[in-house]
């Protein structure tokens, strides 16, 4: 089925996020070839110009590289991929912290809350 | 690729289009949205040379549109008109006899993609399969303009999905200009470059789908509700 997208974020960014997640989870490995723009467009039901923009953005972030006449590949620069992982973690932490602050919680509340959460999980 | 210059169309005393001007570029997919009777079909028919403006000029590839524009424009009608005793294959042969650019070599691939049996009679086809066949006939032509009038109306989600994927697989997205008039906008939003909103025969707004999300955080549906309420 055609994918669903959130309204608040450009579609090209949402697809870039998805590809980044696949890279971090190891579903896409360094040096792996990404689907062609057309294949990706068909797979996700998205305008090819949008996919082109996703690929350009990933290239700008140095996460993928386009080899002339061959296609687009995940970078083999492990340093870049490590940075990507840190950056995505940071994004999630930032939004978590922001939400908690909006509830009026302090840093200590968050840390102890997290600890309690993980202990609770283990006991279940 | 397509240009409307101060186009008006009157049907008797009623106004179909009222002083409409816009230009559409090659290699882009446009959505034409608006309530029933707003002028969407009239706009498409004018590009296809099937309706003539009362005032103004329509240009396709720089040429003023007349009936001969059918050479450059493939048009999928919202109507469901087929000669019942024909088989799918007969219909394809008929299209091939009418249009020089009809790619008979591409048809079998398209039929397989849409899971259509060439030997089936048209009267035996379900509504969904008639919708698929219409798209096959439109996509098998090599034209610079592809017009689709309500390609999803009354079709189930599976058929809609196969139509979206068929479009993405077979349009020539660097050279073809595609215009889709539709109510089912959420279905195809990710497919579109730009959307034109038509109301009472006027183009009241025009937006780039991704820009709208970036600058206003709105999907087309949300934007449409705001635009048409005013």
Residue of chain A with shortest Cα separation from B163: A45
CB B29 within 8 A of CB A47: yes
Cβ pair A8:B217 closer than 8 A:
yes
Measured distance CA(B209)–CA(A120) in Å, rounded: 44
Mean of pLDDT values over B176-204:
91
CB B114 within 8 A of CB B135: yes
* Position B57 confidence tier, pLDDT thresholds 50, 70, 90: very high
Measured distance CA(B131)–CA(B150) in Å, rounded: 10
Q: Distance (Å) from the C-alpha of residue B113 to the closest C-alpha of chain A?
A: 12
Residue B127 has pLDDT above 80, yes or no: yes
Domains and CATH numbers, chain B: 2-229 (3.40.50.300)
How do the domains of chain A map onto residue ranges?
11-76, 79-123
User: Quick one: DSSP state of residue B158?
Assistant: H
Among B161, B193, B213, the residue with its CB nearest the CB of A7 is B213
Cβ pair A2:B217 closer than 8 A:
no
Among B27, B28, B168, the residue with its CB nearest the CB of A41 is B168
The more confidently predicted of residues B15 and B86 is B86
* Per-residue confidence (pLDDT) for residue B84, from 0 to 100: 85
Residue A123 has pLDDT above 90, yes or no: no
- pLDDT exceeding 90 applies to what percent of chain A? 84
Cβ pair A10:B168 closer than 8 A:
no
CB B90 within 8 A of CB B98: no
The H or E element containing residue B193 is: none
* Position B82 confidence tier, pLDDT thresholds 50, 70, 90: confident
Cβ pair B190:A7 closer than 8 A:
no
* Per-residue confidence (pLDDT) for residue B48, from 0 to 100: 94
Instruction: Judge if ipTM > 0.95.
Output: no
pLDDT digits (tens, 9 = 90+) for A36-63: 999 999 999 999 999 999 999 999 999 9
Does A113 contact B at CB distance below 8 Å?
no
Residue of chain A with shortest Cα separation from B173: A48
pLDDT digits (tens, 9 = 90+) for B154-163: 888 888 888 8
Residue of chain A with shortest Cα separation from B192: A47
Cβ pair A42:B169 closer than 8 A:
yes
* Position A114 confidence tier, pLDDT thresholds 50, 70, 90: very high
Nearest CA-CA partner of B197 in B183, B211, B186: B183
DSSP chain A: -PPP--TTS-HHHHHHHHHHHHHHTTSS-TTPBPPPHHHHHHHHT--HHHHHHHHHHHHHTTSEEEETTTEEEE---HHHHHHHHHHHHHHHHHHHHHHHHHTT--HHHHHHHHHHHHHHHHH-
Residue A124 has pLDDT above 60, yes or no: no
Would you tell me how many other CB atoms lie within 10 Å of the CB of residue B119?
A: 9
CB B2 within 8 A of CB B60: yes
Question: How do B29-33 and B194-199 pair as beta strands?
Answer: parallel
Mean of pLDDT values over A72-95:
92
SS3 track for B10-66? EECCEEEEEEEEEEECCCCEEEEECCCCCCHHHHHHHHCCCCCCCEEEEEECCEECC
Mean of pLDDT values over A80-85:
91
* Per-residue confidence (pLDDT) for residue B141, from 0 to 100: 94
Q: Distance (Å) from the C-alpha of residue B171 to the closest C-alpha of chain A?
A: 10
Mean of pLDDT values over B91-96:
93
Mean of pLDDT values over B114-125:
92
Mean of pLDDT values over B75-100:
89
> Helix, strand or coil for residue B194?
strand
* Per-residue confidence (pLDDT) for residue B89, from 0 to 100: 94
Sort A67 into a burial class: Cβ within 10 Å, 0-12 / 13-18 / 19+. exposed
Q: At what angle do helices B157-170 and B104-113 cross, to 10 degrees?
A: 150
DSSP B71-132: GTEEEE-SS----TT-BHHHHHHHHHHH-TTB-HHHHHHHHHHTT--TTSBGGGS-HHHHHH
The more confidently predicted of residues B31 and B14 is B31
The more confidently predicted of residues B67 and B230 is B67
Q: Which of residues 11-50 of A touch B (CB under 8 A)?
A: 11-12, 38, 41-42, 44-50
CATH for the stretch A11-76: 1.10.10.10
């Amino acid at each position: 089925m055609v994918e669903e997208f959130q309204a608040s974020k450009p579609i090209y960014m949402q697809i870039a996020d998805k590809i980044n997640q696949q890279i971090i989870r190891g579903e896409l490995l360094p040096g792996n070839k990404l689907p062609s723009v057309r294949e990706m467009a068909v797979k996700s039901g998205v305008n090819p110009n949008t996919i082109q923009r996703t690929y350009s953005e990933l290239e700008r972030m140095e996460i993928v590289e386009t080899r002339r006449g061959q296609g687009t590949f995940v970078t083999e620069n492990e340093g870049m991929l490590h940075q990507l992982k840190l950056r995505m973690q940071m994004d999630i932490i930032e939004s978590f912290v922001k939400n908690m602050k909006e509830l009026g919680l302090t840093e200590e509340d968050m840390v102890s809350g997290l600890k309690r959460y993980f202990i609770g999980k283990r006991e279940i | 690729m397509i240009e409307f210059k101060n186009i008006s169309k009157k049907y008797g005393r009623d106004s179909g289009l009222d002083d409409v001007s816009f230009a559409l570029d090659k290699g882009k997919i446009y959505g034409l949205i608006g309530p029933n009777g707003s002028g969407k079909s009239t706009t498409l028919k004018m590009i296809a040379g099937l309706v003539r403006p009362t005032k103004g000029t329509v240009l396709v590839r720089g040429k003023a549109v007349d009936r001969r524009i059918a050479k450059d424009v493939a048009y999928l009608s919202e109507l469901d008109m087929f000669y019942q005793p024909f088989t799918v294959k007969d219909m394809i042969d008929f299209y091939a006899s009418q249009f020089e650019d009809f790619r008979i070599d591409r048809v079998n691939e398209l039929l397989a993609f849409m899971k259509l049996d060439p030997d089936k009679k048209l009267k035996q086809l379900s509504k969904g399969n008639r919708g698929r066949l219409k798209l096959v006939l439109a996509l098998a032509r090599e034209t610079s303009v592809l017009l689709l009038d309500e390609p999803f109306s009354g079709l189930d989600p599976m058929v809609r999905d196969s139509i979206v994927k068929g479009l993405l697989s077979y349009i020539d997205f660097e050279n073809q200009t595609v215009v889709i008039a539709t109510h089912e906008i959420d279905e195809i939003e990710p497919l579109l470059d730009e959307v034109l909103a038509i109301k009472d025969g006027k183009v009241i707004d025009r937006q780039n789908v991704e820009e709208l999300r970036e600058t206003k955080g709105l999907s087309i549906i949300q934007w449409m509700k705001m635009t048409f309420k005013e």
